[in-house]
Amino acid sequence: MHPIIIVGSGMAGYAVAREFRKLNPEQELVMICADDAINYAKPTLSNAYVAKKAPEQIALGDAAKMSAQLNMRIETHTWVKAINAENHTLTLEKDGQTSEQAYSKLVLAVGANPIRLAIAGDASDDIHVVNNLDHYKKFRVQLDAREDKRVVILGAGLIGCEFANDLQNTGHQVTVVDLAPQPLGRLLPQHVASAFQQNLEETGIQFVLATTVEKVTKSESDDYLVTLANGQTLVADAVLSAIGLQPNIAVAKEAGITISRGVITNTLLETNLVDVYAVGDCAEVNGTLLPYVMPIMQQARALAKTLNGAETAVHYPAMPVAVKTPAAPLTVLPAPVGVDVTWETEELEDGMIAKAVDAEHTLRGFVLLGATAAKQRLTLTKLVPDLIPAAV
């Protein structure tokens, strides 16, 4: 019997391996990844400064430790060049050498790549993205070497705002630039976004909205000059791009796997190819792409059972997301895409509760801003219908 192969060593890949090992300690398991397979929780990157964690303290285990812990062969710095679904084989490349690897089941946990804007200027290559621990190490090295600690962040989405909060609260001066007229434009109604923005501005974070970065150049004094489309120029010691992620779908597409925004799967996390599954940030399950921790854990538990012979559909209950911005505590449960909602808002002394209600007056999502509102999280979550119901 050929091994079950997991491609990718991020949170999703390791979660599947861990859940599978709880059910089956013996079946041969192989993880193939393009990096060093260090296990860490990616969400810790955006609040590591406040948590006083140096990059080397974020790692939970290297490849050798994880291999022993999970009784799994881990092939590091190895690229999957092709999937041959008919033969159940992969074409691999390592150190310039290619080889074939057979599989019984294949799990794609290949994650997502940062979207990079085409930005002019002689310092555009110096713009950081932080999508993994290596990226974060490089960002920290540059920032820790600078005296003034001025940071320009491109993107006022979830990751951009989390990094802004983390950096501003640790002696940095942060400016956030976004094309949208408000922060967290895809998650918050305008009135909540305004209050959220105001809370962050009170800590010293500056927002420059409804514009974009045109070029990044180096000044004679080694600073970065960030020129915006509105004519403004910002001076920075580091520039961080956090404008979003695109699921990594190239290898899947070449193999004939159906893709849309991500790798399309059904509720069993199966792709259209036999014995090929997808999980995590690359997986579009029943038309839904949820790049958050809780959906990954739901997927991993269900898929582990399926890989062990008990077909199990993934169940998506309502899964709120806690945004790591202590200056403006925020919990968001986005309403499903395509559902028309109206917002009902209750103002509180330290924030607000905003409920997204559909035409039948069913609660479909909510936003909780402030510590008092956060206490309503469990009560409200129970009122929201499952995104993908549990199998009967």
Kindly tell me if the per-residue pLDDT of 159 is higher than 70: yes
Kindly tell me if the per-residue pLDDT of 233 is higher than 70: yes
Kindly tell me if the per-residue pLDDT of 391 is higher than 80: no
- What is the average per-residue pLDDT within 178-204? 96
Which secondary-structure segment (H or E) carries 20?
Answer: helix 11-23
Confidence of residue 337 (pLDDT cuts 50, 70, 90): confident
Q: Which of 22-26, 52-56, 310-314 has the lowest mean pLDDT?
A: 52-56
- What is the average per-residue pLDDT within 353-376? 97
- What is the average per-residue pLDDT within 29-33? 98
Computed from CA positions of residues 101, 102, 104, 106, in that sequence, does the dihedral angle turn out positive or negative?
A: positive
Q: What is the pTM of this model?
A: 0.95
Who contacts 354 (Cβ-Cβ below 8 Å, separation ≥6)?
A: 189, 191, 192, 343, 344, 345, 346, 366, 367, 368, 369
Residue 348 buriedness (CB in 10 A; 0-12 / 13-18 / 19+): middle
Residue 382 buriedness (CB in 10 A; 0-12 / 13-18 / 19+): exposed
For the stretch 98-105, contacts whose Cβ atoms lie closer than 8 Å and that sit 24 or more positions apart, written own/partner, are 101/5, 101/30, 101/32, 102/2, 102/3, 103/2, 103/3, 103/4, 103/5, 103/30, 103/275, 104/1, 104/2, 104/3, 104/4, 104/275, 105/4, 105/5, 105/275, 105/276, 105/277, 105/307
pLDDT at 49: 94
Which secondary-structure segment (H or E) carries 82?
Answer: strand 79-84
Cα R_g (the chain), whole angstroms = 22
Q: Which of 381, 376, 389, 378 is nearest to 365 (CA)?
A: 381
Angle at 299 (CA atoms; ends 296, 305), nearest 5 degrees: 140
- What is the average per-residue pLDDT within 282-288? 94
Q: Which of 66, 19, 13, 18 is nearest to 38 (CA)?
A: 66
Tokens (6 digits) for 94: 């390592």
Kindly tell me if the per-residue pLDDT of 312 is higher than 90: yes
Kindly tell me if the per-residue pLDDT of 392 is higher than 70: no
Q: For the chain, what percent of residues have pLDDT higher than 90?
A: 95
Kindly tell me if the per-residue pLDDT of 147 is higher than 90: no
SS3 322: strand
- What is the average per-residue pLDDT within 298-323? 97
- Classify domain 329-381 by CATH number: 3.30.390.120
Mean pLDDT of the chain: 96
Who contacts 275 (Cβ-Cβ below 8 Å, separation ≥6)?
A: 85, 88, 103, 104, 105, 106
- Domain assignments of the chain as residue spans, ordered by start: 4-112+246-307, 116-241, 329-381
Q: For the chain, what percent of residues have pLDDT higher than 70?
A: 100
Q: Which residues are paired to 4 by β-bridges?
A: 29, 105
Residues 80-122 have pLDDT tens digits of 999 999 999 999 999 999 999 999 999 999 999 999 989 999 9
**By the 8 A CB rule, do 90 and 104 touch?**
no
- What is the average per-residue pLDDT within 10-35? 98
Q: Which CATH code of 3.50.50.60, 3.40.1710.10, 3.20.20.70, 3.40.50.620 fits the domain covering 116-241?
A: 3.50.50.60
Q: Do domains 4-112+246-307 and 329-381 have the same CATH topology?
A: no
Q: Which residues are paired to 316 by β-bridges?
A: 388
- Classify domain 4-112+246-307 by CATH number: 3.50.50.60
CA distance 327 to 337: 28
pLDDT at 390: 86
